[in-house]
Structure 1
Amino acid sequence: MTAVEAPDMRRMPLRKVLSVLVTLGAVAVAAYMGWLMWQAYMAAPWTRDGTVRAYVITVTSQVSGRIAELGVKASQYVRKGDPLMKIDPADFEIALASAEAAVASAKADLANKQAEAARRARLTSLAVSVEEQQIYNAAADMAAAAYRQALSNRDQARLALSRTQIVSPVNGYITNLVTQAGDYATSGQRALSIVDADSFWVDAYFEETLLRSLHIGDQARVALMAYPRTLEGTVVGIERGIAVPNAESDPSGLATVNPVFTWVRLAQRVPVRIGLKNVPSSIVLAAGLTATVSIVPNSAPAGAKPVLPAATE
């Protein structure tokens, strides 16, 4: 046997032969598993680019005034209908009292004008002229209009008074509280922000090359960076548009085209909305948390449509 000649398996001890075969088999299995893992890594729909999101409700006062009471604290959980803050009602109570007095005055004036018009209507043409009757009827109609206007002003004053008490529109958490009792609340300007506790979802930004593998209703696994436990979710929506830099114009109106290398084409990322299911109370969700999202293949219910149509031959 020369130095480059392969060893004769028939002359090798059985133990050594088995050792070689086991080694070759292990290498083959490892190579096959590596190939499967590479295929799963390259083709399976998953992404580390995920973010927990939630709706943030901006609470604004509908009337302006000094904040007399602030019934919440920073990061406090509030239920829908819980009082948040109260505007000083003194000015609005005075306005309502004035409007109610105006209603009483307009009502008395209307009754008087209607009585005068009724008396003239019962008189004959010898005692009162037709022109005078028309004048008193018109006065009664004007008094009726003034009475309706006074009622409207009173209702408006009553509504403004009711708006001095601001309640929570949703179940959620007070966030970034900077308003304090004694501050002046301006109508239409933000006073409080509430993170809607019932609206948490995950936006997973998948590369466009993976969209064909996604279906509405697919089951998803969400791993938050802050917690080791994996959450269950469902694909509930796919955004139908992202910003296109080349579509923007410069100040002169010319198209802004970004230069790219012809041999490099980066896959765009499209937001896919993942609805969360059965989030345990031990996990504190906060908008902005980082998440890794993986989609369970072929887990969508029957009849679900893919994000992109299948290629036709």
Structure 2
Amino acid sequence: MKSKLLTLALVVLAIAAVVLKYQTYMTHPWTRDALVRANIVEVTPRVTGPITHIHVADNSAVVAGQLLFEIDDRIYQAALKKAQATLAQAKVQLQRAQNELQRMTALESKTPGAVPILTLNNLTDDVDAAIANVAAATAGVDNAKLDLEFTKVYATKTGYITNFNVAEGAHVVANQPVVALIDGDSFWIEGFFQETDLEHVHAGDSASVTLMSYPDYPFNGTVISLGYGIAQADGATSAQMLPTVNPNFEWIRLAQRIPVKIKVQSLPEQVELRVGTTASVMISPQVKG
């Protein structure tokens, strides 16, 4: 009799544990389909040329404003000198046009009718054109200075350089990315929760995050936002401008997964966040008072 009562008690406890676990799961959504994310800045040179000096190593930490690499600046120095010479010529032409207009204006004032009105108008136009040439030449100098400055490429964010696979002497092209810079202040966790769990997930909820690479060091986060859409295959426009529809329809519909963005609140000293690594996330809904 005692053994039966003991067995019955164990069964009741097991059922209670299952029910409690189920209730916890339903009210505390959990997923192991989560990834570490961060903003990625593509380091892109603004000018073309061979790299002459590299000041950082691959997979190294950098700070905003740190010099990463330099591009051969000789042609840009020559371009600046040429632009400065063009500006000097434009200023001389302006001074000459202004002197001629001033001389003719003084002559006309002293002896009315000595200078035709058309001549004065043309001289005025010459001065205006010379002023415009000086402005254009000044812009040319500014542009040449910028190009020269762009031969030095700096980090725009504090973070980590990764996938830096170029060497000194390599030719880089303007507006073509060279290396990735991970913004060290932008890390977040993106958890993909089933749509059936979204009822219990809200912005401001607390989250417990565990990285697969650091299973013994969970840390806390806060739900920032929930995604409002995911890509769909059905309904996409085909090459014939008709909607593409999957002909197969399963009797069991699988719940879609919606991305939930989670801000990291505290991080153990032992943990280093790396973009793309796997995590598990449990959400603790806010207690409504």
TM-score (norm 1): 0.86
Paired amino acid for 2:193: F
Structure 2 equivalent of residue 265 of structure 1: 253
Secondary structure of the 2:196 match is helix
Q: CA deviation at 1:252?
A: 2.0
Per-residue deviation, 1:75: 0.3
In structure 2, the gaps of 5 or more residues are none
Deviation of 1:155 (Å)? 1.0
- Superposed displacement of residue 54, structure 1: 1.1
Q: Does 1:44 align with 2:28?
A: yes
Q: Which amino acid aligns with 1:77?
A: A
Deviations 1:262-308 (A, max 9, x none): 531110100001111121232121111111100113358x7xxxxxx
What is the root-mean-square deviation in Å for CA atoms of aligned residues?
1.8
Q: Deviation at 1:134?
A: 2.2
Q: Deviations over 1:146-203 (max 9, x none)?
A: 1111111111111111111111010111111112111111111011211111111111
Alignment match of 2:168 (pick from 174, 177, 181): 181
The CA deviation at 1:260 is: 4.2
Q: Find the residue that maps to 2:222 and give its secondary structure.
A: strand
Distance 2:250 2:149 in 1: 64
Map of 1:137-152 to 2, 5 A cutoff?
137-152=124-139
Partner SS for 1:75:
coil
What's the CA shift for 1:91?
0.8
Structure-1 separation of matches of 2:239 and 2:161 = 41
Q: Does structure 1 retain, via aligned residues, the 8 Å contact 2:217–2:268? A: no
Tell me which residue corresponds to 2:223.
235
Query: Which amino acid is the alignment partner of residue 179 of structure 2?
Result: L
1:222 aligns with 2:206: no
- The amino acid of 1:139's aligned partner reads D
Question: Structure 1 residues 297, 93: closer, same or farther in 2, change over 3 A?
Answer: same
Deviation at 1:144, TM superposition (A): 1.6
Equivalence map 1:1-313=2 (5 Å): 17=2, 21-41=5-25, 44-123=28-107, 124-227=111-214, 228-261=216-249, 263-299=251-287
Aligned length: 285
Residue 299 and residue 168 in structure 1: after superposition, are their counterparts in 2 closer, same or farther (change >3 A)? farther
Residue 287 of structure 1 aligns to a residue whose secondary structure is coil
Partner SS state of residue 241, structure 1: coil
Cα separation, 2, equivalents of 1:79 and 1:247: 46
Matched residue type, 1:125: P
State which drifts further: 265-274 or 252-261: 252-261
Say which SS state the counterpart of residue 246 (structure 1) adopts.
coil
Range 265-274 or range 35-44, more displaced = 35-44
Once residues 286 and 191 of structure 1 are traced to their aligned partners in structure 2, the CA distance between those partners, rounded to angstroms, is: 20
Separation (CA, whole Å) in 2 of partners of 1:40 and 1:280: 26
CA contact (8 A) 1:77 1:173 kept: yes
Q: Deviations over 1:236-255 (max 9, x none)?
A: 01110001111213322332
Query: Which residue identity does 1:114 align to in structure 2?
Result: Q
TM superposition outliers: structure 1 runs of 4+ over 6 Å: none
The structure having more radius of gyration, on CA atoms, is: 1
> 1:135/1:23 Cα in 2 relative to 1: closer, same or farther (>3 Å)?
closer
1:137 is displaced (CA, Å) by 2.1
- Give, as a single letter, the amino acid of the residue that structure 2 aligns with 1:25: A
